[in-house]
Amino acid sequence: MITKSIYDYINQIIPSEDLLSNEKLASHTTFKVGGEADLFIRITNKEQLIKLIPFLRRLEIDFFILGNGSNVLAGDRGYRGVILNIGTGMSNIAIDGNLVTAEAGALLANVCKFSSVNGLSGMEFACGIPGTVGGGIMMNAGAYGGEMADVTESVSVMNETGELMEISRDAMEFGYRKSAIKNRPYTVLSVNFRLSPGNKDEIQAKISALMEKRKEKQPINYASAGSTFKRPPGNFAGKLIMDAGLRGFSIGGAGVSEKHCGFIVNRGNATAADILEVIKEVKERVYDRFEINLEQEIILLGDF
C-alpha cells in the first residue's frame, strides 16, 4: 500500500507530473489491456533509480520495471505496487566510432534507425521489434536471424543496493530469450552495441525488406505482445498451434491470429482474462495433440 508518507518521500525524488496514481496499464502495454497500478512513475534519469529501488526494497513494496510494455500481459485488476517506467525519459542514443550507446528506455527501432543513418550495420534485425533496449537485453530479443547477443559489447546495470556495474557480453549469459539480467535483481541502465561500418543504402534496403516481410507475415494491425510462446526445440509454436486446428480460435475479444498462429491478438475489446484463457487453451490443445509444452514468452503482470 502506498501511504501518504511513502508518496511524499517519493515526491522528493520524482516531480509530481511524473507520479501517476491509479494509472491504467492498458495505456502502457501493446496488448492494450490492464487495470490500474497503485503508482506509476515515469523515470527520467538513473539517479532516480539509485534512490528509489533500494527504498522500495527496504519497505518491501512490490515494484515492476516496465519499458514499452511490448512483452507484458497486465491483469484486469491492475498492479498493487509501483510501476517504474523506463521509457522516453531515459532514451538517449550516442555514437563513438563503431560503438552505439543507448539508454534502457530507447526503442530498439530508434537504435536501428540511428545506426543506419550513421552507416553502421548489425541492428537491422531489431527495426521491427516494438520493445526498448532494457527489455530487449533482458530477453535477448531477436528476429530474422539476429539477436541482441550478436551486437552487445557491454551492459550498464544497477544492483539491488544501488551499486552501478558494467557487465561484459561474455558475462551476460545470453541464451534463447534469456540473459543474466532475467534472473538477477539488476536494472538495465544502458547498453553498448558494437556494430560494423556499412553502406547506408544497403543497410536501409535490408531494413525495408525486413519491415515488408514483417508486414506480410505478422498481424501488425492488431494489438498484441508479439510472439506469445517461445520456439520449442526443433519446432515452431505457430505451426504447432495451426496444426492443432486453432487458427482464428477466440475467446471473448482475444484470439489466435489467422495471419500468424504464433500471435495471440486483441481484436479490439479483449480483456486480460480473455487473452489468458486463449493462452491456456492453446497450451492444453497443443499438448493434447503433440505432447509438447508451449512455454510463454510474455510476462504476466499484476492481478487477474
Q: Which residues carry out catalysis?
A: 177, 227, 297
Cα gap 164→150, rounded to integer Å: 24
Instruction: Give the integer Cα–Cα distance in Å for 280 and 28.
Output: 24
Helices (runs of H) and strands (runs of E) counted in the chain: 8, 19
C-alpha cell at 278: 486463449
Measured CA to CA, the distance from residue 64 to residue 49 in angstroms comes to 12
Output the CA angle 116-86-129, nearest 5 degrees. 40
8 CB-contact burial (10 Å; exposed 0-12 / middle 13-18 / buried 19+): exposed
Q: What are the cell numbers at 118?
A: 550513421
Sign of CA dihedral 49, 195, 205, 148: negative
Amino acid 97 reads: G
40 in Cβ contact with 86 (< 8 Å): no
Q: Strand pairing partners for 74?
A: 301
> Given the DSSP bridges, would you call strands 79-86 and 63-66 parallel, antiparallel or unpaired?
parallel
CA-CA distance, 1 to 82, in Å (whole number)?
Answer: 9
First to last CA, the chain: 18
